[in-house]
Structure 1
């Protein structure tokens, strides 16, 4: 069994620490107030800053970057810290655009992180659909990450990435059988596209959890930006309607404070 520390920095940005490893997901460290263009007439304003400043992070062994082309997953300050990271893992299409060499993966491909005196980590890229059917040419390539290392007692750690609930996601998750899920929520939407959603809602999350029965779910990517349509209050309302076995899986990470989870 591995004791893993999760520090939620804001949005999708989480510091993951265990057995000497320090991993960072989707680095976003810009101050609040700026509006970011997401393409095709969509944009969003950042409402809150990071709970931990980039300068206070310390050494980072690897950055797990679900996609490179949206400011709520990689902003200017996040991009600036990439050269100091040991390894960057991201999408195959996004890797060439980064300021450092990166390992580019498509869904279904894997790589391994290794360092002396630490357990090796196998990183499997998982599928994401960052919007409605047939939206990939518009929203671009996005992946999640399933992390496996020796000593896990309850299955892999799965970082879903920005995705809605869809068949390939459910099928992949059922094959992985994750013990802990870092779940991107928020029900992202834009005035231009009306009711369409570009990340999971709580209702979709309940369906996913009913299908795969993880041990722990850690919600992220639901606050701090104008384009989130479902914050913590809305998620909790939906969870109260869910079967108790599902609602009880969710555990909220305090901003800026390390929380320990057994994997």
Structure 2
């Protein structure tokens, strides 16, 4: 499967077309304008709608859902879509809550499952560690995973989606386990007034540090725009990567954003 195409739909939502497979990440399709509660006194308003509606997607073979507890990663229309998708891969906690999809598989970090279909090359999906906030925050914000996709014939390494995470010790182990070719990097430096300076997703500075460790050939930022709670946008990300050693800035590739 040499032909891989990634289409950014908005926020964390991307359509990955790897050969005959069509895989959707974190489906969010609600229109802009609504404010959502994330719990514990936090929330945000969606400011940008999706580039495509669900009925414009075409068939989807699988959804990779990093977590189900926040509407900026799974909203109402995204939940409706799950019922029509053959396979959903997510956290073990989300798998217990999602009963409408035909095949829901819950993974813990470093667990694997395989996408298989007649006449198609299998894709191995590995759940990767993620922590959606500061130390000890998981009981409050809930569990999250990222996903690494591997298939026969990959020359340079896996396609990795980080999921919503900060840089923490378990992520620093990733280069010992996986060789990453392309990364879909969730950014935005999220923080909320109620918790002061604490961050709930990666800042541009920490993303540079992570990419220096992982050393991907291609870096695709996602989930840094379209919501009020993001604190760092494209300008901050570009500035941080341009100043990074090792030519990391040259590996940054911006997927087209949805129209305003």
The two structures share one fold, judged by TM-score above 0.5:
yes
Residue 174 of structure 1, CA deviation: 3.7
Match of 2:151 in 1: 149
1:73 aligns with 2:73: yes
Of stretches 209-218 and 219-228 in structure 1, the one that deviates more from structure 2 is: 209-218
Whole-Å separation in 2 of the counterparts to 1:240 and 1:88: 36
| Range with greater deviation from structure 2 (168-177 or 220-229) | 168-177
Over aligned residue pairs, what C-alpha RMSD do you find? 1.3
Q: Which has the higher contact order (CA 8 A, sep 6+)?
A: 1
Paired residue for 1:123, among 106, 122, 125?
Answer: 125
Mapped to 2, the partners of 1:68 and 1:174 lie a distance apart of 28
Distance 1:255 1:64 in 2: 20
- For residue 59 of structure 1, give the secondary structure of its aligned residue in structure 2: coil
CA contact (8 A) 1:7 1:256 kept: no
In structure 1, the partner of 2:217 is: 215
1:1-80 pair list within 5 angstroms: 2-80=2-80
Q: Distance in 2 between matches of 1:55 and 1:224?
A: 21
Q: Gapped runs of 5+ residues in structure 2?
A: none
Structure 2 counterparts to residues 217-232 of structure 1, below 5 A: 217-232=219-234
1:108 is displaced (CA, Å) by: 1.4
Task: Report the secondary structure of 1:233's partner residue.
Answer: helix
Aligned residue for 2:251, secondary structure, equals: coil
Contact 2:242-2:248 within 8 A present in 1 as well = no
How far 1:96 sits from its partner (Å)?
A: 1.7
In structure 2, distance between residues paired with 1:140 and 1:146: 21
Contact 1:174 1:212 in 2 (8 A): no
Q: TM-score, normalised by structure 2?
A: 0.96
User: Which residue number in structure 1 is paired with residue 170 of structure 2?
Assistant: 168
8 A Cα contact 1:87 1:102, kept in partner = yes
Q: Which residue of 2 is the match for residue 94 of structure 1?
A: 94
Q: 2:176, 2:144 → 1: CA distance? A: 19
Alignment partners' CA distance in 1, 2:230 and 2:206: 15
Provide the residue aligned with 2:204 in structure 1: 202
The answer (yes or no) to whether the contact 2:174–2:214 under 8 Å persists in 1 is: no
Counterpart in the other structure of 1:239: 241
* Whole-angstrom distance in 2 between the partners of 1:173 and 1:96: 30
* Distance in 1 of aligned mates of 2:216 and 2:224: 20
Distance in 2 (CA, whole Å) between partners of 1:217 and 1:114 is 27
Corresponding residue SS for 2:22: strand
Q: CA deviation at 1:202?
A: 0.8
Structure 1 alignment gaps of length 5 or more: 258-263
Partners in 2 of 1:254 and 1:93 — Cα distance? Answer: 32
Structure 1 length-normalised TM:
0.95
Instruction: Give the secondary-structure state (helix, strand or coil) at the position aligned to 1:84.
Output: coil
Looking at structure 2, the residues matched to 115 and 53 of structure 1 have their Cα atoms a distance apart, in angstroms, of 26
User: 1:138 is matched with which residue: 140, 148, 152?
Assistant: 140
